Amino acid sequence: MTSTPHAPHANHAALLGSPDYETLRQRAHNLRWASVEEGVIPLTAADPDLPAPRAITDAIANYCARPHFCYGPAAGLIEFRESVARHFARTKDALIDIERVSACNSAASAITLVARHLIRAGDEVVAQDPVDFLVTESVRRAGGNLRLWKHDNGHFTLDGLRAALTPRTRALCVCHPHNPMGSLWTPAQVREIAELCSARGIEIISDEVWSDIVHDGNAFASFASFGATAASPWVIYGLSKGFALAGLRIGAVIAPSSARAADFRAHAGFDHTIEGASTLSQVAATAALTQCDEWHDAFLTHLGAQRTHAASRLTSLTGVELARLPEATFVIFPRISATGIDEVELATRIAQHARVRVVPGSPRWFGEGARGHIRLSLACTRATLDEALDRMTAAWSVITAS
């Protein structure tokens, strides 16, 4: 890769802007540009290469023009909490009282805090397998005993959930939409899961950090829409994926009720300034949720095209299979077991021979159920994606030689 910026595909270039690779090589850590050798393309951690929208940088600059960086309200800025509530009403079929919303320092932190709040050592907690490691890690850190909800042919079904639940199950921790499989439950399925858990007195923790990346106009229903009913889902939200703000570490917890939100904040230390989100990040996030619709539409169009393109190119490689296109997320998770090479070895060989980094579907990242897959992030320009896929294609016979 040279440092020449590549424009995103089609007409969205002007709106989306171009990555500045020199800056990415300095700032994009966590397995990405700043943590790989020069010349390597990192399709690894799910963090967009594209710059954040202009409205966000303007909002940050405006805030900084009056340079008082004081403590903000413990639960978060009212405007941030309102923007989250309105965003959920507009795009996720959930009417939320802002008293239920707490600003958090990232989705990763939010899910860990909620798990600690709800789960006691030894509690039984059901989580999907495979799933992003943050979901299971949050349960482990809280001392929960994991039971796994196995997928059925790529679908997490109600029957699979029933098989995982026991009379001792205290909580269900899910990723919706699902990383790494890119799957999405319909609103009816969300309701069924919420009702099943409600009937058994099981708390739901739903990590919805991916809910701003839903393809093909599919409906997304948040578990938060069931907060006012007997079911009591806790929803985790964040802006790393939908608005390219990973480094600002900004997200939110939506509790089942305002009383439980207040309990959560008291327990986690928000009221004592131990927890809470950076005010500047909340200002940026508020701009994202209120002023960036056009940018976000262009981003989604770009990602949808990347997904179709990557799927067709990847499945032309011998031994690479994809049962269906991801319905959500900007990751793709092809099955590679037909290459006869395990996921860690294959990812190592791809790095070595194609100078492209991908994430192996290993237990470390996604659980046992991810074996035989690799995950690639597609939140880059078409030129970067094609360069990566060209290199993999050119080296594929060497990569897969036994």
* CA 190 centroid distance within chain: 18
Residues 10-49 binding ligand PLP (CB under 6 A) are 46
Largest CA distance in the chain: 63
CB of 29 to ligand PLP, least distance (A): 12
Residues 150-179 binding ligand PLP (CB under 6 A) are 175, 179
| Interface size with ligand PLP, residues (CB under 6 A) | 14
* Candidates 70-78, 156-164, 220-228, 238-246; binding stretch for ligand PLP (CB under 6 A): 238-246
Output 107 or 389, the one with its CB closest to ligand PLP.
107
From residue 122 to residue 141, the character string flagging contacts with ligand PLP as x (rule: CB under 6 A) and all else as - is ----------x-x-------
Q: Where are the beta strands (DSSP E) in 130-282?
A: 145-150, 169-175, 203-207, 233-238, 251-254
The two three-digit tokens of residue 39, written as one number: 């010349």
CA–CA dist 15, 295 (Å, integer): 6
CB of 179 to ligand PLP, least distance (A): 4
In the list 74, 127, 197, 246, the residue contacting ligand PLP (rule: CB under 6 A) is: 246
CA–CA dist 205, 198 (Å, integer): 13
Instruction: Output the CA–CA distances (angstroms, integers) from residue 313 to 90, 310, 377, in the order listed.
Output: 35, 5, 14
CB of 104 to ligand PLP, least distance (A): 9
Instruction: Output the CA–CA distances (angstroms, integers) from residue 230 to 4, 167, 171, in the order listed.
Output: 55, 18, 15
Output 41 or 379, the one with its CB closest to ligand PLP.
379
Mapping DSSP to helix (H, G, I), strand (E, B) and coil, where does residue 43 land?
coil
- In this structure, what are the phi and psi dihedrals at residue 263, rounded to the nearest 5 degrees? -60, -45
Helices 133-141 and 107-118 meet at what angle, rounded to 10? 40
The two three-digit tokens of residue 73, written as one number: 């309200």
380 contacts ligand PLP (rule: CB under 6 A): no
* Candidates 86-94, 100-108, 145-153, 315-323; binding stretch for ligand PLP (CB under 6 A): 100-108
In the list 238, 256, 334, 372, the residue contacting ligand PLP (rule: CB under 6 A) is: 238
* Candidates 101-109, 219-227, 315-323, 339-347; binding stretch for ligand PLP (CB under 6 A): 101-109
Instruction: Output the CA–CA distances (angstroms, integers) from residue 235 to 151, 173, 266, in the order listed.
Output: 22, 10, 18
Over its C-alpha atoms, the chain yields an Rg (Å, rounded) of 21
In the list 129, 203, 207, 343, the residue contacting ligand PLP (rule: CB under 6 A) is: 207
Output 106 or 301, the one with its CB closest to ligand PLP.
106
* CA 83 centroid distance within chain: 19
From residue 247 to residue 266, the character string flagging contacts with ligand PLP as x (rule: CB under 6 A) and all else as - is ----x---------------
Output 130 or 251, the one with its CB closest to ligand PLP.
251
Instruction: Enumerate binding residues for ligand PLP (CB under 6 A).
Output: 46, 106-108, 132, 134, 175, 179, 207, 209, 238, 240, 246, 251
